[in-house]
């Protein structure tokens, strides 16, 4: 059985969503899971989870593009692993990849390895750039925002406010409030 999954980030992307549904129907998907949520927002994409639960051994999960399915390479590999354990293939229409074939598995593995290699190179260049900027005295790192507000946090704590209220008023996280109060206590 061919099972489709379609996703757009927002409800305003109607044309893209409709195009995905049309393409999935055209290739013969008998059931299509659909949702309009961001892939990068934390939390579970419920329809993707439902699709992954629904598919059975011998089925193929079909998506139009890889970015409709996974938010990153590790996420993609996690999904593929789940599908493989269930005996389910993955077909990505835009890339003409079908993991039910040896060639499809090979192509997906090669593409995944290349993507991972490119990411490692990018991170290496970024670290080289940071090191060069530090050497030149141009890189200072992120400004410690919570430490700069320690006096304000301590003053609010003296007034008897809750940790959450202090965090809200000072514009820092609750964890930062606890850290500042703990450091002040050990310093005293």
Tell me the pLDDT of the chain (188 aa) as tens digits.
999 999 887 665 677 888 999 999 999 999 999 998 776 665 678 899 999 999 999 999 999 988 888 877 778 888 988 999 999 999 999 889 999 898 988 888 787 777 778 878 888 998 998 888 888 888 877 777 777 888 999 999 999 999 999 989 888 889 999 999 998 888 76
The confidence score (pLDDT) of residue 40 equals 60
- The three-state secondary structure class of 140 is coil
The confidence score (pLDDT) of residue 105 equals 84
Task: Tell me which of 9, 100, 109, 173 is the catalytic residue.
Answer: 9
The CATH number that domain 2-101 falls under is: 3.40.50.1390
Phi, psi angles (nearest 5°) of residue 159: -80, -5
Rounded CA separation 34/4 (Å) = 8
Helices 174-187, 150-158: axis angle to 10 degrees equals 80
Q: Is 61 exposed, middle or buried (0-12, 13-18, 19+ CB in 10 A)?
A: buried
The confidence score (pLDDT) of residue 42 equals 57
DSSP symbol at 172? S
Domain boundaries, the chain: 2-101, 145-187
Judge whether 9 counts as a catalytic residue: yes
């Amino acid at each position: 059985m061919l099972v489709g999954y379609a996703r757009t980030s927002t409800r305003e992307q109607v044309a893209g969503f409709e195009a995905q549904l049309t393409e999935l129907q055209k290739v013969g998907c008998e059931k299509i899971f659909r949702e309009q949520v961001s892939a990068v927002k934390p939390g579970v994409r419920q329809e993707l989870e439902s699709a992954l639960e629904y598919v059975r051994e011998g089925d193929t999960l079909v998506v139009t593009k890889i970015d409709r399915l996974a938010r990153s390479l590790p996420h993609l590999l996690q999904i593929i692993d789940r599908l493989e354990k269930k005996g389910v293939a993955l077909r990505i229409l835009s890339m003409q990849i079908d993991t039910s074939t040896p060639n499809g598995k090979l192509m997906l593995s090669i593409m995944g390895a290349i993507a991972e290699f490119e990411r490692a190179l990018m991170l290496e260049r970024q670290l080289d750039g940071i090191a060069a900027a530090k050497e030149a005295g141009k890189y200072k790192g992120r400004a410690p925002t919570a430490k700069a507000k320690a006096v304000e946090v301590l003053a609010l704590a003296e007034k008897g406010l809750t940790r959450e209220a202090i965090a809200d008023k000072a514009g820092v996280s609750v964890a930062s409030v606890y850290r500042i109060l703990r450091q002040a206590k050990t310093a005293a």
